[in-house]
Amino acid sequence: MSTSDSGGPGRGAFGGHQLVVVANRLPVALVDGEWRSSPGGLVRALLGFLRPTAALWVGWAGTADEPQAEFASDGIDVATISLAAEQIRGYYDSISNDAIWPLYHDALRTSTYDNDDWRIYAEVNERFATRTAEVAAEGAVVWVHDYQLQLVPAMLRRLRPDLRIGFFLHIPFPPQELFMRFPWREEVLEGMLGADLIGFQRRVAAENFISLAHRLVDAEVVDDGVRTADGRFVRVGSFPVSIDIDEVAGIAADPVTVKAAARIRRRLGDPPTVLLGVDRLDYTKGIGERLTAFGELLRNRAIAHAVPGRPEVVLVQIAVPSRENVGDYQAQREHVEQLVGAVNGEFATLGYPAVHYLHRSLPLDQLIALYLATDVMVVTPLRDGMNLVAKEFVAARGVGDGVLVLSEFAGAADEFTDAVIVNPHDPHALVEAMETAIAMPRDEAIRRMSALQDALLANDAQHWAASFLEHLVR
Ligand code: F6P
Digit-coded pLDDT (tens) for 300-341? 877 666 666 778 999 999 999 999 999 999 999 999 999 999
What is the C-alpha radius of gyration for the chain, rounded to an integer number of angstroms? 23
Among residues 243, 363, 339, which one has the least CA distance to residue 283?
A: 339
Atom of ligand 1 nearest to the CA of 147: 4
Q: Give a yes or no: residue 399 inside a domain.
A: yes
pLDDT confidence of residue 264: 98
Q: How far apart are the first and last CA of the chain?
A: 36
Same domain, 155 and 210: yes
Same domain, 290 and 411: yes
Q: Give a yes or no: residue 3 inside a domain.
A: no
Q: Calculate what percentage of the chain has a pLDDT beyond 70.
A: 95
Same domain, 268 and 324: yes
Q: Report the alpha-carbon distance of residue 215 to residue 203 in Å, rounded.
A: 19
> Has 170 been annotated as catalytic?
yes
- Residue having the nearest C-alpha atom to atom 6 of ligand 1: 42
Range of the domain at 262: 245-458
Q: Tell me phi and psi for residue 326, to 5 degrees.
A: -95, 130
pLDDT confidence of residue 7: 37
Residues comprising the chain, all counted: 474
Mean pLDDT of 14-43: 85
Digit-coded pLDDT (tens) for 165-195? 999 999 999 999 999 999 999 999 999 999 9
> Residue 311: left if φ>0, alpha if ψ -120 to 50, beta else—which one?
beta
Higher-scoring residue by pLDDT: 200, 43: 200
pLDDT confidence of residue 367: 97
Atom of ligand 1 nearest to the CA of 322: 16
Its pTM surpasses 0.85: yes
Rounded to the nearest angstrom, the distance between the alpha carbon of 13 and the centre of ligand 1 is 30
Same domain, 421 and 438: yes
Q: Give a yes or no: residue 371 inside a domain.
A: yes
Rounded to the nearest angstrom, the distance between the alpha carbon of 312 and the centre of ligand 1 is 35
Same domain, 57 and 191: yes
- Whether 259 has a pLDDT exceeding 90, the answer reads yes
Structural domains of the chain, count: 2
Same domain, 230 and 308: no
Catalytically annotated residue among 170, 196, 282, 460 = 170
- Residue having the nearest C-alpha atom to atom 14 of ligand 1: 25
Atom of ligand 1 nearest to the CA of 97: 15
CB contact at 8 A, 284 and 381: yes
Atom of ligand 1 nearest to the CA of 25: 14
Q: Give a yes or no: residue 7 inside a domain.
A: no
> Has 384 been annotated as catalytic?
yes
- Residue having the nearest C-alpha atom to atom 15 of ligand 1: 323
Same domain, 197 and 340: no
Rounded to the nearest angstrom, the distance between the alpha carbon of 62 and the centre of ligand 1 is 12
pLDDT confidence of residue 3: 37
pLDDT confidence of residue 399: 84
CA distances to 127, 252, 371 from 316, in Å: 42, 19, 11
Same domain, 428 and 468: no
- Whether 289 has a pLDDT exceeding 90, the answer reads yes
Rounded to the nearest angstrom, the distance between the alpha carbon of 63 and the centre of ligand 1 is 15
The 3-state secondary structure of 361-376 reads: CCCHHHHHHHHHCCCE
Same domain, 325 and 356: yes
Same domain, 24 and 79: yes
Q: Give a yes or no: residue 22 inside a domain.
A: yes
- Whether 216 has a pLDDT exceeding 80, the answer reads yes
pLDDT confidence of residue 35: 85
Digit-coded pLDDT (tens) for 419-469? 999 999 999 999 999 999 999 999 999 999 999 999 999 999 999 999 999
- Residue having the nearest C-alpha atom to atom 11 of ligand 1: 40
Q: What is the DSSP string of 15-79?
A: --EEEEEEEEE-SEEEETTEEEE---HHHHHHHHHHGGGT-EEEEEEEEETPPP-EEEETTEEEE
User: Please, what is the average pLDDT of the chain?
Assistant: 93
Rounded to the nearest angstrom, the distance between the alpha carbon of 282 and the centre of ligand 1 is 11
Q: CATH number, domain at 414?
A: 3.40.50.2000
pLDDT confidence of residue 6: 37
Digit-coded pLDDT (tens) for 341-357? 999 999 999 999 999 99
Rounded to the nearest angstrom, the distance between the alpha carbon of 432 and the centre of ligand 1 is 31
Same domain, 174 and 323: no
**Confidence at 124, pLDDT banded by 50, 70, 90:** very high
Q: Give a yes or no: residue 467 inside a domain.
A: yes
Same domain, 346 and 450: yes
Q: Give a yes or no: residue 431 inside a domain.
A: yes
Mean pLDDT of 391-403: 94
Atom of ligand 1 nearest to the CA of 41: 8
Q: Calculate what percentage of the chain has a pLDDT beyond 90.
A: 85
Q: Give a yes or no: residue 104 inside a domain.
A: yes
- Give residue ranges with CB within 6 A of ligand 1: 24-25, 40-42, 146, 170-171, 322-323, 385
**Residue 426: which residues within 8 A CB-CB, separation 6 or more?**
none
